[in-house]
Structure 1
Amino acid sequence: MTLVRDSLLASVTKDMLGLEVAPWFNPIAPRKAGFNVRTLDVFDDQQLMARAKSDPTVLPETYDRLEAVDYVGSATEIASLVDASDHGAFDYVVSSHNFEHLPNPIKFLQGCEALLKPGGQLIMVLPDGRSCFDYFRAHTDISEWLEAYLEDRVQPNGRQVFAFYASIATTEHAGISGPTAVSETTPTNAIEIEREISKQWDDWCAGKAEAAYVDTHCSVFTPSSFHLLIAECRALGLTAFEVAEVGETHGVEFCVRLVRSETRPIPDAAASCRSIRTGLLRQVWNEHAVRYSAVGTQSVKDALRARVDLQRGGIVQLLRRWNRKRLQKRCDRQG
């Protein structure tokens, strides 16, 4: 977590005004460390403490890390939860493992735009779908975000809940087990589906997702697929955020940093936009190619390393052939 935390805070100073979304008991920019930060959570202080005490995985010595909550509500509604007088006053918004849960990501992005100054930053840690219990799920397509935006979706719908719970990956490998044990180092043949599909279908038919809020990973990302989604939102004039940085995956997660430009771009259907999308889509499918390695005992990390080695080896072979040709030409000239 130290590497991720350092990456997140590299462009933040303690005198900047920030807002952290749902830090739970592990804030990225804690007030106790001197950060000038406010907190948003779906639960208030008392509810958070009660949840911490009822969770056996949360150690009592971490209770004092819980931040006081300034704004209570869903992060999707971030713009309406913060007083209008504070819109445009924030230097940064930081979020770790929250964005993938949001049923309406575009609305959240637009809400963060409203809070941030021009040049302000939205900094997030996101899970890489190839390296966690989303392993068997495809990356999220822009049409899914657009559908949620047009519906003004406020909670995950039946399809999103089904897609998540019917595809949860789990593992029993090297003495560890369960969905949270799936990581970039888990061999492909040690990962399997956790649940039966019929129960998830029955829940969907019964309308359980509509009856109550069901926490779900509504979006699945690889680094390039996230970059693509933001590029497509910009191309449609739906966000003023530009991608400043998309980090490499470390463990199960990667960092992103978006910067708020002055205005949203005019929707653009130019060839340059198509070119950007094409390039990113190629990168997305290159990232997916390492997920299902030809050797079942390989992990995503192993496959990535093998691909890099292969690429390096290919470059070496190309250089050797090039040098042989140069040498042959020189001999011919001298000949």
Structure 2
Amino acid sequence: MNTRELIRKDLPFDRISIMEIGALNKPFIRKSETNVIYVDHADTETLRRKYAVGHGFDPSEIVDVDAVWGQNSLADCLAGRKVDYVIASHVIEHVPDLITWLKELSSILNENGEIRLVVPDKRFTFDYTRRPTEMPEVIEAHVRRARRPQLWNILDHVLNVRAVDGNAAWQGPLPLERIPNLHTFEQAFSLAESTIHTEDYHDVHCWVFTPESFANLMATMVQHDLIDLECHEFQDTQEGTIEFAVFLRRSADRPAAVASWERVAAAASRLGTPGSRDVGELHKALENATSELNAIKASRSWRITEPLRRMAKLARSVRH
């Protein structure tokens, strides 16, 4: 099932309300289908100016934004409205304060509501050489109540993102000489100064995930009562793609919610890393060969010819 099919799966369009964040020109849900609210970090005209050049699509195709979520809270942004579903594709990695963002999403869900996220997997994107996000950075951003990417977010992104071919990454480890940096050191230094001395908003990947690292972070946040979200459904990164998907629901049962994320981490880790499918195929071939050999050994012809094999073995030992 591709990402679009998964995100739209089992949505009862005739009786639900949806909030889609960051839809731009490719919303998962159209207004002609159901009651959907488009939310973004800027209004429609600002977004169309931002994406006017060099983004590979006609900016006039960007959907009309219904509500802007920036310095204000999501509850204020929606004027108290609640929704049944939240959809956000390739958004979570951009948010400055991960904990507050998830808490605010949880706060605007109706009973039994669901958050459907599509998340880039660093192993197949320009984040290839960046280390996965760890809890100290998440806590710091939350304690600071960050509304803009922090300086370390920006520097880590600009200094380390690389030109990565996702398909090539699936074949195995990529040598650094094949994946050049996308920005120079001088550009990173200039951007750092701009961050300190201006109010400019620099949009970067604040957070870096693999499916396993994401699940472990979520488990930790739930365990310490920072968020109240369990994993209802998980689709790991499919071969040839660069993203995984998680469906989240509110849960008052903290141990069960933690366990839901631990199961995701365990399932994701069993799938291994890019290129490991070759090893998996070898293991499968070995299992098949072993099964065939066992079947041969159990056969009548194998039993009949056993004396001949013993004689051949004895002859080889005599020669040596």
Question: TM-score, normalized by length of structure 2?
Answer: 0.78
The question of whether the paired residues in 2 share the 8 Å contact of 1:75 and 1:102 is answered with no
The alignment status of 1:305 with 2:277, answered yes or no, reads yes
Question: What is the root-mean-square deviation of aligned Cα atoms in Å?
Answer: 3.3
Alpha-carbon distance in structure 1 between the residues aligned to 2:21 and 2:151 = 25
Can you list the C-alpha shifts for 1:67-110, whole angstroms capped at 9, x where unaligned? 222211339832331212x2xx3111001111110011111111
Alpha-carbon distance in structure 1 between the residues aligned to 2:258 and 2:85 = 28
Quote the offset at 1:152 in angstroms.
0.7
Can you list the C-alpha shifts for 1:189-233, whole angstroms capped at 9, x where unaligned? 3323333335424543x3525622111101111112111121111
Quote the offset at 1:317 in angstroms.
7.1
Alpha-carbon distance in structure 2 between the residues aligned to 1:199 and 1:275 = 42
Can you list the C-alpha shifts for 1:235-262, whole angstroms capped at 9, x where unaligned? 011111101122121311121111122x
Alignment-derived partner of residue 3 in structure 2:
4
Alignment-derived partner of residue 147 in structure 2:
154
Determine which of 181, 195, 201 is the counterpart of 1:208.
195
Determine which of 105, 112, 121 is the counterpart of 1:119.
112
Quote the offset at 1:13 in angstroms.
1.9
Which letter maps to 1:38?
I
Alignment-derived partner of residue 55 in structure 1:
53
Alpha-carbon distance in structure 1 between the residues aligned to 2:141 and 2:295 = 56
CA spacing shift, 1:275–1:9, aligned 2, 3 Å: closer
CA spacing shift, 1:214–1:315, aligned 2, 3 Å: same
Alpha-carbon distance in structure 1 between the residues aligned to 2:48 and 2:244 = 28
Alignment-derived partner of residue 297 in structure 1:
none
Higher CA-based Rg: 2
Aligned residues: 291
Quote the offset at 1:30 in angstroms.
1.3
Alignment-derived partner of residue 248 in structure 2:
258
Quote the offset at 1:118 in angstroms.
2.8
Quote the offset at 1:307 in angstroms.
3.0
Alpha-carbon distance in structure 2 between the residues aligned to 1:169 and 1:185 = 13
Alpha-carbon distance in structure 2 between the residues aligned to 1:114 and 1:152 = 17
The 5-angstrom pairing of residues 124-139 of structure 1 reads 124-139=117-132
Alpha-carbon distance in structure 2 between the residues aligned to 1:107 and 1:236 = 14
The 5-angstrom pairing of residues 129-208 of structure 1 reads 129-171=122-164, 182-186=165-169, 188-189=174-175, 190-197=178-185, 199-201=187-189, 203-204=191-192, 206=193, 208=195
The question of whether the paired residues in 2 share the 8 Å contact of 1:234 and 1:241 is answered with yes
Quote the offset at 1:31 in angstroms.
0.9
Can you list the C-alpha shifts for 1:130-159, whole angstroms capped at 9, x where unaligned? 001000011111222111111111111111
Quote the offset at 1:164 in angstroms.
0.5
The question of whether the paired residues in 1 share the 8 Å contact of 2:215 and 2:261 is answered with no
Q: Structure 2: any 5+ residue segments left out of the alignment?
A: 304-320
Matched-pair identity in %: 22
SS at match of 1:139: coil
Which letter maps to 2:124?
S
The question of whether the paired residues in 1 share the 8 Å contact of 2:230 and 2:258 is answered with no
SS at match of 1:169: coil
Alpha-carbon distance in structure 1 between the residues aligned to 2:209 and 2:216 = 10
Quote the offset at 1:160 in angstroms.
0.6
Which letter maps to 1:27?
P
Alignment-derived partner of residue 317 in structure 2:
none
Q: Structure 1: any 5+ residue segments left out of the alignment?
A: 172-181, 291-299
